[in-house]
């Protein structure tokens, strides 16, 4: 494979989204409200980290500088990460975590459903496997949004608060980046604005079933795709990268 910085950047975005959210969900291990939920969130985290491994490995090949998935995951600073801001937001309580998962997984399933037809065979193969996993992630989150929204007064209030916190970051999911236009035109990358109608329909239908309203429109918070992150990512990376930073080259 010839070096291709644009293709590498696209793969980093895909991989970083899954890696950061996988790390976030792993923070629930041993702390979830029920054993069943503990196991479910841990399995979703493992799915996401597996996806990240494939995308980051591919990014290294496309970049052509000898970096592998571990190098990208453990030896980059926060400014070099290309994940969307939504996935790095704190877990908060269980309702906030489900609100984040609900908004992201429904988008990611639509993304991978298109990406599995990418003109790049490797990206298509990764997406073809990942879309089956993400379909479960979305189903899991959708069911919990209904249970929480149509549950007790407290669960409903916490779910509304979680949606309010996360909603401002969703605009970035549909931001068209001119730098990726050559990949979109070549059928390699997905034109993300095209996903918005189906995503909005999914979100609206689930919220209606949960007897919840869509959050009010607001100014979108963006910047993750170009390395402008919230303070939350730095704290996440300090934990995730500790062993490689403290013991460079450590193997386990």
Instruction: Express each pLDDT in 118-145 by its tens digit.
Output: 999 999 999 999 999 999 999 999 999 9
pTM: 0.96
Q: Which long-range contacts (CB under 8 A, 24 or more apart) does 161-164 make?
A: 161/95, 161/96, 162/92, 162/93, 162/95, 162/96, 162/97, 162/98, 162/99, 162/100, 163/99, 163/103, 163/212, 163/215, 164/215
Contact call for residues 173 and 221 (beta carbons, < 8 A): no
Q: How far apart are CA 72 and CA 16, in angstroms?
A: 9
Q: Is the CB of residue 145 less than 8 Å from the CB of residue 210? A: yes
Average pLDDT of the chain, as a whole number? 96
pLDDT in tens, 12-44: 999 999 999 999 999 999 988 888 999 999 999
| CA 102 and chain centroid, separation | 11
Look up tokens 């303070």; give the residue. 231
- Which domains, ranges and CATH numbers included, belong to the chain? 5-246 (1.20.1260.10)
How distant, in Å, are the alpha carbons of 131, 138, 167, 202, 208 from that of 102? Answer: 15, 6, 11, 10, 14
Over residues 197-223, the pLDDT tens digits come to 999 999 999 999 999 999 998 899 999
Q: What is the per-residue pLDDT for 39?
A: 95
Alpha carbon of 126 to those of 25, 50, 55, 250: distances in Å?
A: 21, 10, 8, 28
């Amino acid at each position: 494979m010839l070096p291709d910085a644009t293709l590498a950047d696209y793969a980093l975005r895909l991989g970083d989204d899954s890696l950061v959210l996988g790390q976030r969900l792993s923070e629930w291990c041993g702390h979830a409200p029920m054993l069943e939920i503990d196991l479910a969130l841990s399995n979703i985290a493992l799915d996401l980290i597996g996806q990240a491994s494939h995308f980051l490995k591919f990014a290294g090949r496309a970049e052509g500088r000898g970096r592998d998935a571990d190098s990208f995951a453990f030896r980059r600073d926060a400014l070099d990460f290309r994940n969307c801001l939504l996935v790095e937001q704190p877990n908060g309580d269980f309702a906030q975590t489900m609100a984040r998962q609900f908004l992201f997984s429904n988008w990611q399933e639509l993304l991978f459903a298109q990406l599995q037809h990418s003109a790049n065979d490797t990206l298509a193969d990764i997406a073809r496997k990942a879309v089956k996993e993400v379909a479960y992630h979305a189903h899991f989150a959708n069911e919990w949004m209904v249970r929480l929204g149509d549950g007790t007064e407290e669960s409903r209030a916490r779910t509304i608060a979680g949606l309010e916190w996360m909603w401002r970051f969703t605009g970035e999911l549909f931001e068209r980046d001119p730098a990726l236009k050559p990949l979109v035109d070549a059928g390699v990358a997905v034109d993300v604005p095209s996903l918005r109608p189906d995503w909005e329909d999914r979100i609206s239908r689930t919220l209606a079933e949960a007897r919840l309203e869509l959050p009010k429109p607001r100014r979108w918070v963006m910047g993750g795709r170009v390395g402008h992150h919230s303070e939350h990512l730095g704290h996440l990376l300090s934990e995730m990268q500790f062993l490689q930073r403290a013991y460079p080259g450590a193997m386990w």
